[in-house]
Structure 1
Amino acid sequence: MKFDLHTHHDRCGHAQGEIRDYIEAGIRNGLQVIGISDHSPYFGSSTDRPQPGIAMAKSEFPNYVKEVLRLKEEYQGKIEVLLGMESDFFPEHLESYRKVYDQYPFDYIIGSVHLSGGVSIFNKKRWKGLTDQDQILHKEEYYDLIAQSARSGAFQILGHIDAMKGYYPAFTDIQTEAVEKTIQIIGEHDLAIEINTSGKTKDVGGWYPSDTMLELCLHYGVHVTFGSDSHIPGRVGDDWEEVRAKLKEIGYKEWVFFRQKKMVSVAL
């Protein structure tokens, strides 16, 4: 069974195409299951859309859910459409997000850390002038947030867990025990992490997370799933076969997707 749980569309303000375009791309690329998981609104903000180029407006959120559910019905028998969300993780606003999500029939929610220390993880400038010790502290702060997201109980999947390397490939070489400790926590909470193939669109190339991290995930019993993180329909299912082969090489026997927040295992 071929699936992709991480796709976006034009509501977020930085993706191209409508939801239907991604579903049709999934059918063309041989998917049996596609998850729609656009960026969450900033539910912790008092304004409707504080970041129009990053996430949808709060007022648009119910329409997003309605459209996905309508398309789920329309495409029944052709492809299974899942209602997902890529949710920002802000510890201070967790309950505000949770109250909104609990009102809707999500199949899964991806928890992603996009800001660490109040700065985008993709901001190249955050690394300028830092000492080696400062870099370690930045990395540890990022993984502390991911560990908190794992403990929160709000998510089924954790998104791109080493995406901070996107525009700073040297991130991978910053040594800290925080990475392994965080992976252990993810395993203890029976969550999945995604193999996210959008790293190829950044300076670092390749996927998130690294093979070394995937080996640790296997050791600590962390489930894995697949997400292209498509922001254009043409990337739906991108590198799916290559990821499947790599997981088998590492030693995985299965990967998972979620339906009504229940984990569904699929043999590799």
Structure 2
Amino acid sequence: MKFDLHTHHFRCGHAEGSIRDYIDAAIAADFKVIGISDHTPYFGSPEDQPFPAISMRKTDFEGYVQEVLELKREYEGKIKVLLGIESDYFPDHAPVYQQALAAHPFDYIIGSIHHVRDVSIFNKKRWNNLTPEQQIADKEEYFNLIRQSARSGMFQIIAHMDAMKGNYPPFSDIMTDAAIDETLRVIAECGLAIEVNTSGKTKLSGGWYPSHAILEVAHHHGVDITFGSDAHKPSRVGDEFDEVAKVLKEIGYKEWVYFEQKQKVTVPL
């Protein structure tokens, strides 16, 4: 059974198409489950939309939820539509996010780290002039934030676990094996899943998030796996799903999961 839990649409300001476009693309690709998971508004600011090309307006949030719920009803019997959302984890603003998200019937919430030390993880310049020790410190802080997000109780899924490599491929070579191992152990203890996110092909790194090596460590710790294309245009819905399933089987996984009403649903590989 095919499913994709990570999709975006026009409200976030950097994706194409409507929610319906993504649902129709999933049906055309013979998917049985499609999760809609656009970026939350930036709840940490008093402004309605402080970052127009990154996240939706606060005033669009209720409409987003209601549209997905209406489409869930409309498409019943054709495809299972899940109400999800991708939420950044900002330690200073976590209670505000938690309160805003708890007011709606999300099937799942994807936790993401997009900023380390107040700089985007995709900023190509953030690594300029850093010493090897500073690079290690930044990478370790990235995984520290992922661990904090896992322990927060806010999320069911951890997004694109090594996406900091996206526009800086040497990130993968910075030696922080202990931090990665500890992060996966914490994720397993907290009962969260990590996604295999196939959107790395849209960045300089190529490939998937996380790397095959990290997936092997995840399997060792018993971390649940889910799938997300992180599609920002309808044509990428389900991208490389079959290839991901093949690799996971080779690693030793026998099943993966999606979430409905925040409850884990197991699907054989």
TM-score normalised by the chain length of structure 2:
0.99
Aligned to 1:189: 190
CA offset at residue 73 of structure 1? 0.3
Gaps of 5+ in 1: none
Letter in 1 for 2:126: R
The residue correspondences of 1:109-258 to structure 2 (distance < 5 A) are: 109-176=109-176, 177-258=178-259
- For 2:243 and 2:152, how far apart are their aligned partners in 1? 32
Please give the per-residue CA displacement for 1:34-62, whole angstroms capped at 9, x wherever unaligned. Answer: 00000010011111100001100011100
For 1:134 and 1:103, locate their aligned partners in 2 and report how far apart those are by CA, in whole Å: 40
How far did residue 172 of structure 1 move? 0.5
Distance, in Å, in 1 between the alignment partners of 2:150 and 2:179 is 14
What does the per-residue CA deviation read over 1:121-144, in whole Å, with 9 as the maximum and x for residues that have no partner? 000100011111110001011000
Match of 1:77 in 2: 77
Partner of 1:33: 33
Q: In the TM superposition, what whole-angstrom CA distance separates every residue of 1:91-146 from its partner, at most 9, and x where no partner exists?
A: 11111011111110000000000011100000010001111111000101100000
Say which SS state the counterpart of residue 25 (structure 1) adopts.
helix
Cα shift at 1:247: 0.2
Q: 1:21, CA displacement in angstroms?
A: 0.2
Q: 1:58 aligns to what?
A: 58
3-state SS of the aligned residue for 2:108? coil
| Letter paired with 2:264 | M
Give distance in 1, aligned partners of 2:31 and 2:250: 22
Corresponding residue of 2:9:
9
Please give the alpha-carbon distance, in whole angstroms, between the structure 1 residues aligned to 2:75 and 2:151.
35
User: What is the alpha-carbon distance in structure 2 between the residues aligned to residue 139 and residue 100 of structure 1?
Assistant: 29
CA distance in 2, matches of 1:4, 1:129: 39
In the TM superposition, structure 1's runs of 4+ consecutive aligned residues that sit over 6 Å from their partners are none
Distance 2:39 2:100 in 1: 14
Query: CA offsets, 1:166-200, max 9 Å, x none?
Result: 01111001001211111111011110000000001
Q: State the Cα deviation string for residues 180-221 of structure 1 (Å, max 9, x = none).
A: 111111011110000000001111001000011001101111
Provide TM-score, normalisation by structure 1. Answer: 0.99
Cα distance in 1 for partners of 2:248, 2:241 equals: 11
Deviation at 1:81, TM superposition (A): 0.2
Are 2:97 and 1:97 equivalent residues in the alignment? yes
Distance in 2 of aligned mates of 1:211 and 1:17: 31
Shift of 1:234: 0.1
Q: Tell me, what secondary structure is at the counterpart of 1:109? A: strand
**Matching residue's letter, 1:99:** Q
Cα distance in 2, alignment partners of residues 150 and 95 from structure 1: 14
Percent of pairs with identical residues? 63
Q: Distance between the aligned counterparts of 1:51 and 1:167, measured in 2?
A: 20
Q: Secondary structure at the match of 1:86?
A: strand
Q: What letter matches 2:89 in structure 1? A: F
- The 2-side partners of 1:51 and 1:19 are apart by 21
Q: Deviations over 1:137-167 (max 9, x none)?
A: 0101100000000000000000001000001
Q: Determine helix, strand or coil for the equivalent of 2:266.
A: strand
